[in-house]
Amino acid sequence: MRASDYLEHAWSNLWKKKLRTFLTTSGVVIGIGALVCMFAFGQGIQQNIRDQFEAMDLLNYINVSPRHGGAPTPADGDPDAQPRHTAPPPVSDPNQEVTVLDDAFIDEVLQIDGVEAAFPEMRFPAQVRLGDKEQFTLVQVVSSKGCGSGLIQLRAGAPYTSDEPNEVILSDTLLRRLGNTKSETAVGTEVEIRTITLDFSVASLMRMAFSRGDQRLPISDRRYSFKVVGVVERMGFGGALPIRSDVFIPPGAADRMRKLVLTGVSDLFQPAEKLAGYSTVTIRVASPAQVATVKAKLEERGLRTFALMDQLAEMRMGFVIMDMFLLAVGMIGITVASLGIVNTMVMSILERYREIGIMKAVGATDGDVQKIFLFESGMIGLLGGVFGLLLAKVVSFVINEVVNGFASGEGVPFIQYFSFPWWLCAGAVAFSILVSLIAGIYPTRRAARVDPVVALRHD
């Protein structure tokens, strides 16, 4: 018999028992639909995370900071003692000179193949006043080149074109806190930035020395006027690295300001060579594939590096665990559907006992009989896989529309929570056929063992 003959015979037998075939196939449809729907949800979450990272270019950045003190020192001066660090740093020479992250270092980094830009991490605390409202925030220094590189997505206005003028870019989040809900109206207005400095004048030191009741730190403030030239839309995760603030000013204006450049209290405990340069420099590479190469070159200089690419292995492992959990839950439905296929095929054998005997009597081999029933079970799997995939897409569409309908009322943008890659669609149909064939192995072997003499005597 040809394959087309087996298919025709199998379809004819299934069509004779429409209700039974429908109920059995429905079990496969529901099982495959549930499994595909859960996998599509997991893929949708992963796709949204990847799209978010790619939209902000988070995977293209390397954070660089100086490594102080060289290699970890053994405990209690014992040369055989193990270091307390869980993983030794790349720097093996404790006497290696500490690299200062300054403008000269940035110029050198820009010469490394694959590096597109380098931005110093320079932020300082300040009070920003607009009209009669004032807010505390961190002001970040961003060069005009970095401002115009696309890292800052402006909602209104334009980036400053040089590093010298007293111009500022504010986030729409800060503007709302300052009472301005329209970004366009803020462009061109004047804001006041008030900084703090440590005042070590004779008067302040005398006051601390002889005043018993006033033990405040000798802090003074300075006020500067800036013109708003742009409004930025603050992105998720605080914005694309290294953009993580609500206020951005050019380096020239920052140099003219008296300020306390401390990005954290820990800066007070850092050695002098670190405070001589930038605390952190963020480097942008052309593509994530070049991150490892650039990191290796930086670590050879004794620098501490961090990139989100380092965390991808852990993220992928988390995704794999989630997929395995969804697979385990979905396999419950597939197992139930498989039992339905076994039951259908066994009942079909019992009903066609005499027919099997006639086929064997006229020359059909055990293999021919097995193929007939395998084609029937495989056809159930094919129908279940195709319609299960359609069911999963319909259900996911309804869930996606309902969830986004509720979320839109809260101002949340539309999100595609389900993703159906081609391999998932093709794999669902193939998996359904495979499960059906496995479920049909026992019935087909039972049909092949039928004795034709006994079967012909069967009523």
Q: What pLDDT, in 10s, does the model give residues 85-141? A: 333 444 445 555 667 777 788 888 888 888 877 777 778 889 999 988 999 988 888
Give residue 212's pLDDT.
55
428 backbone dihedrals φ, ψ, rounded to 5°: -65, -45
Instruction: Note the residue count of the chain.
Output: 459
- Strand-pair category, 167-171 with 247-249: antiparallel
The span from the CA of 356 to the CA of 451, in Å, is 9
Query: What mean pLDDT is predicted for residues 186-204?
Result: 76
Tell me what pLDDT residue 237 has.
39
Confidence of residue 393 (pLDDT cuts 50, 70, 90): very high
Tell me how crowded residue 421 is: count the other CB atoms within 10 A of its CB.
12
Q: pLDDT confidence of 24, banded at 50, 70, 90?
A: confident
Whether residue 152 sits in one domain with residue 22: no
Q: Is the peptide bond before 242 cis (omega within 30 degrees of 0)?
A: yes
Beta-bridged to residue 120, according to DSSP, are 281
Measure Cα distances from 423 to 8, 334, 380, 429 in Å.
29, 19, 21, 10
- Domain's final residue, options 308, 337, 368: 308
pTM summary value: 0.56
pLDDT of residue 389 exceeding 80, the answer is yes
Residue 202 lies in a domain: yes
**Among 273, 308, 343, residue at a domain's last position:** 308
- Is 282 within the bounds of a domain? yes
Residues 6+ apart with CB under 8 A from 135: 127, 128, 174, 177, 178
Query: Is residue 73 scored above 50 in pLDDT?
Result: no
Measured CA to CA in angstroms, residue 439 lies from 153, 167, 424 at distances of 56, 72, 22
pLDDT more than 90, % of the chain: 6
Q: Are residues 232 and 170 in the same domain?
A: yes
Residue 247 sits at φ, ψ, to 5 deg, of -135, 135
In a domain? residue 164: yes
Measured over all CA atoms, what is the biggest interatomic distance in the chain, rounded to whole angstroms?
120
Q: Is residue 65 part of a domain?
A: no
Q: What pLDDT shows up at residue 356? A: 72
* Listed ranges 21-30, 150-159, 187-196; the one with the highest mean pLDDT: 187-196
- Answer whether residue 202 shows pLDDT above 70: no
Residue type, 43: Q
Domain membership of residue 92 (yes or no) is no
Helix-strand-coil split of the chain, %, nearest 5: 55, 15, 30
Question: Could you tell me if 240 and 56 are in contact, meaning their C-beta atoms sit under 8 angstroms apart?
Answer: yes
Compute the CA torsion angle 308, 310, 312, 313 (nearest 10 deg): -170
pLDDT at res. 91: 43
Predicted pLDDT at 1: 63
pLDDT digits (tens, 9 = 90+) for 398-457: 998 888 888 777 666 788 888 888 888 898 899 888 888 888 888 777 777 776 666 566
Query: Considering the domain boundaries, does residue 381 fall inside one?
Result: yes
By percentage, how much of the chain surpasses pLDDT 70? Answer: 75
pLDDT in tens, 259-287: 876 554 455 555 544 455 677 788 888 87
Q: Are 275 and 213 within one domain?
A: yes
DSSP state of 268: G
Task: State whether 203 and 351 are in the same domain.
Answer: no
Q: How far apart are CA 299 and CA 307, in angstroms?
A: 12
Q: Which residue has the higher pLDDT, 221 or 169?
A: 169
Is 327 found in the same domain as 283? no
Give me the chain's average pLDDT, please.
Answer: 76
Let me know: does 315 contact 48? Beta carbons within 8 Å.
no
Report the pLDDT value the prediction gives residue 386, as an integer from 0 to 100.
92
Could you give the CA distance from residue 140 to residue 123 in angstroms, rounded to a whole number? 4
Cα 352 to Cα 343: distance, rounded to the nearest angstrom? 14
The mean pLDDT of 176-183, rounded to a whole number, is 82
Phi-psi region of 17 (alpha: psi -120 to 50; beta: other; left: phi over 0): beta
Are the CB atoms for 326 and 42 separated by under 8 Å? Answer: yes
Half-sphere exposure of 452 (CA within 13 A, CB side): 11
292 and 321 both lie in a single domain: no
Torsion of CA 443, 445, 447, 453, to 10 degrees: -150
Among residues 318, 327, 319, 316, the alpha carbon closest in space to that of 428 is found at 327
- Do 341 and 365 fall within a single domain? yes
Distance CA 284, CA 297 (A): 14
pLDDT digits (tens, 9 = 90+) for 42-68: 888 888 877 776 666 667 778 888 875
Task: Summarize the confidence of residues 138-155 as an average pLDDT.
Answer: 76
Range of the domain at 371: 3-55+315-457
Is residue 151 domain-shared with residue 205, that is, in the same domain? yes
pLDDT for the residue numbered 70:
43
Domain membership of residue 110 (yes or no) is yes
The reply to whether 271 and 334 lie within a common domain is: no
- Who's near 207: CB < 8 A, 6+ residues apart? 214, 218
DSSP state of 100: P
Q: Which position has the token pair 């490892």?
A: 292
Give the number of other CB atoms < 10 A from CB of residue 437: 17
Task: Mark which of 308, 340, 356 sits at the end of a domain.
Answer: 308
Instruction: Identify the band that residue 190 occupies on the pLDDT scale cut at 50, 70 and 90.
Output: very high
In a domain, 89, yes or no: no
**pLDDT tens, position by position, 377-387:** 888 888 988 99
The total number of structural domains that make up the chain: 2
How far is residue 211 from each of residues 79, 201, 202, 219, 220, measured CA to CA in Å? 51, 15, 14, 16, 18
Least confident stretch, 147-156, 225-234, 264-273, 354-363:
264-273
